[in-house]
Amino acid sequence: DIQMTQSPASLSASLEEIVTITCQASQNIGNWLAWYQQKPGKSPQLLIYGTTSLADGVPSRFSGSRSGTQYSLKISRLQVEDIGIYYCQQASSTPFTFGSGTKLEIK
Amino acid sequence: QVQLMESGPGLVQPSETLSLTCTVSGFSLTSYNVHWVRQPPGKGLEWMGVMWSGGSTDYNSALKSRLSISRDTSKNQVFLKMNSLQSEDTTTYYCAREKFHYFDYWGQGVMVTVSS
């Protein structure tokens, strides 16, 4: 199975700050990488797919990038509504494994 | 619009079988794959398995011996059955629609507690 190592486990940042979350894939997954946001008591929501493509309705302050097998989610100007837990997911092959999550809070 | 809704018992006895239903609307089960994902309280997401649009299935190897996924296309329903439940199976179960390998719509989830 492909392992996704996500960091940090938690993150506290100030409003308007730039935030970056990373995921390291255990093997080549190309651009088959998605990011999800989960708010308390809610289902995960797709934010980014194909490493860099924004899902419908996702603000442009979210962006994704890749360097080799390391993938990053960047929030350019943190807003209150961005708090939640973020997960990466590899979509290269089943089982479609997820990262362990990053809990994002406002400082 | 696209909707998925999980249903099933909130409480299951240890060693018994869990049966869940995912009822979908706004899309066809013969055109989209539907996956099951679970999430223990306060923990991360675990992919369980998939009902491919063509009717075949694929399972997480860690659960394969206990898990079965089936469907009824006429009722727009996908079913999950998992036997020999233990306390570690206490979790929220989600069904999700897959679009090009990504989960673009999720159900609201159903919390299942395994306890006597």
Q: Tell me what pLDDT residue B112 has.
A: 97
**Contact A98/B44, CB-based, under 8 Å?**
yes
**CA-closest candidate to residue B92, choices B57, B22, B52, B42:** B42
Using a CB-CB cut-off of 8 Å, the residues of chain B touching A1 are 61
Give mean pLDDT, residues B108-116. 96
Q: Tell me what pLDDT residue B62 has.
A: 93
In angstroms, how far is the first alpha carbon of chain A from the final one? 36
**DSSP β-ladder status, B102-106 and B91-99:** antiparallel
Q: Tell me what pLDDT residue B12 has.
A: 96
Tens of pLDDT, residue by residue over B6-33, are: 999 999 999 999 999 999 999 999 999 9
Tell me the shortest Cα–Cα distance from A16 to chain B, in angstroms: 27
**Contact B44/A101, CB-based, under 8 Å?**
yes
Using the structure block, give the residue that is written with the tokens 């419908």.
A56
Tens of pLDDT, residue by residue over B36-91, are: 999 999 899 999 999 999 999 999 999 999 999 999 999 999 999 999 999 999 99
Q: Tell me what pLDDT residue B100 has.
A: 87
Ramachandran assignment for B79, one of left (phi > 0), alpha (psi -120 to 50 degrees), beta (any other) = beta
Tell me the shortest Cα–Cα distance from B116 to chain A, in angstroms: 25
CB distance from B45 to chain A under 8 Å? Answer: yes
Q: Tell me what pLDDT residue A25 has.
A: 98
Tens of pLDDT, residue by residue over B58-73, are: 999 999 999 999 999 9
Q: How far apart are CA B53 and CA B27, in angstroms?
A: 11
Task: List per-block mean pLDDT (blocks of 10 residues) for chain A, which spans 107 residues.
Answer: 96 97 98 96 96 96 98 97 97 93 96
Q: Tell me what pLDDT residue A69 has.
A: 97
CB distance from A49 to chain B under 8 Å? Answer: yes
Average predicted confidence (pLDDT) for chain B: 96
Please report the beta strands in chain B, taking only residues with DSSP state E, as ranges in sequence order: 3-7, 11-12, 18-25, 33-39, 46-51, 57-59, 67-72, 77-82, 91-99, 102-106, 110-114
**Contact B61/A1, CB-based, under 8 Å?**
yes
CB distance from B47 to chain A under 8 Å? Answer: yes
CB distance from A87 to chain B under 8 Å? Answer: yes
Q: Tell me what pLDDT residue A31 has.
A: 96
Out of B47, B107, B109, whose CB is closest to A96?
Answer: B47
Tens of pLDDT, residue by residue over A15-40, are: 999 999 999 999 999 999 999 999 99
